[in-house]
Homo-oligomer: A and B are copies of this chain.
Amino acid sequence: MSEAVPDSRDPLPSWNRGFVKAAILDFVAQVTTEGTLTYKPPSQRIATFDNDGTLWCERPFLVQIYFLVDRIKAIAIDNPALANQQPFKAILENDRETIATFTKKELVALIFATHAGMPQEEFLAVAASWFNNAKHPHLQQLFKACIYQPMRELLDFLKAHEFKNYIVTGGGVDFVRVIADEIYGIPPEHVIGSSGKLKFELQGDTPMLTKLPELNSFNDREAKVENIALHIGLRPLLAFGNSDGDLAMLRYTAAGTGNRLALLLHHDDSDREYAYDRDFKISPLVEGLNVVPTLQGGMLVSMKQDWKRVFLF
């Protein structure tokens, strides 16, 4: 019956008791208890989180794909010829078979092609407006509500212990920045993502910062580490991902000196969310299932076993 009585002192009420929850609580206690050998000052308390499939639901398609579809529909109104051109045609016709053949990198490139050619601040307004209405097709909730409650609790718990939480996502940096503070309490400057090139110039006397239709960085796999070093300049104490695209970040984190935690979420819960790993084309999980448990501080997280609840709704 103790499950039914929430412990008001439990900072992670949506996590089931077990090795993972104990490891998280123990890790935070070790690095934040002053006067111990394992203590790390707040300046070093960096935690990095993948977004798609780690903080919010990424199935059946990435959230940004739904935004992309709506962007293409909006653009096609002004430019009807797009309806006969691939890859736009497949998206406008909801041709899932063709869409399913797109690679992750092709999708990101497509995202930038349709998100660019406008002032950066205009794009941010378009994306912010979209998030107010767009709903997940199966869960029937706003996408911004489809975040994992146990992860939100973990973010808050770390923040309360003076960790700086960062999102390190393959998704577009501007897209995630418009919503990250509202749903995760993570400010724009703590979002590292895939990015297009930007161009600053004077148009007449007006300074304009424009998003170019050209990839700057595809923030996946090794690039996640390289961009952590570029943006933060410190090795994380804790990293959390859910696919082989996060494995470099988990290895880099685990290889640091002292206490580290490298966590890999396994989607094994078809009742409450989805069950997938190697079959998910966008973010396959194959190597990580074998590697992460061998890393120092490395640990698999089972959605089915370790999470008491998945969503807040």
Flag A191-207 by CB within 8 Å of B: 1 or 0 each. Answer: 10001011111100011
Is A284's beta carbon under 8 Å from chain B? no
Known: A209-B252, A255-B206. A189 touches B231 (CB 8 A): yes
**Interface contact B195-A230, CB-CB below 8 Å:** yes
How many chain A residues sit at the interface, stated as a range, is: 35 or more
**Interface contact B188-A252, CB-CB below 8 Å:** no
Is A232's beta carbon under 8 Å from chain B? yes
> Which residue on chain B has the smallest CB distance to residue A234?
B188
Is A229's beta carbon under 8 Å from chain B? yes
Is A222's beta carbon under 8 Å from chain B? yes
Is A225's beta carbon under 8 Å from chain B? yes
Flag A212-228 by CB within 8 Å of B: 1 or 0 each. Answer: 00001000001001100
**Interface contact A232-B202, CB-CB below 8 Å:** no
**Interface contact B251-A225, CB-CB below 8 Å:** no
**In the bound complex, CA of A164 to CA of B187 (Å):** 12
Contacts of A255 in B (CB 8 A): 206-207
Flag A103-130 by CB within 8 Å of B: 1 or 0 each. Answer: 0000000000000000011000000000
Is A277's beta carbon under 8 Å from chain B? no
Contact of A233 among B164, B191, B201 (CB under 8 A): B191
**Interface contact B207-A226, CB-CB below 8 Å:** no
Known: A43-B187, A187-B43. A209 touches B226 (CB 8 A): yes
> Hey, which bits of chain A sit against chain B, CB under 8 A?
43, 46, 120-121, 164, 173-174, 177, 181, 187-189, 191, 195, 197-202, 206-207, 209, 216, 222, 225-226, 229-235, 248, 251-252, 255
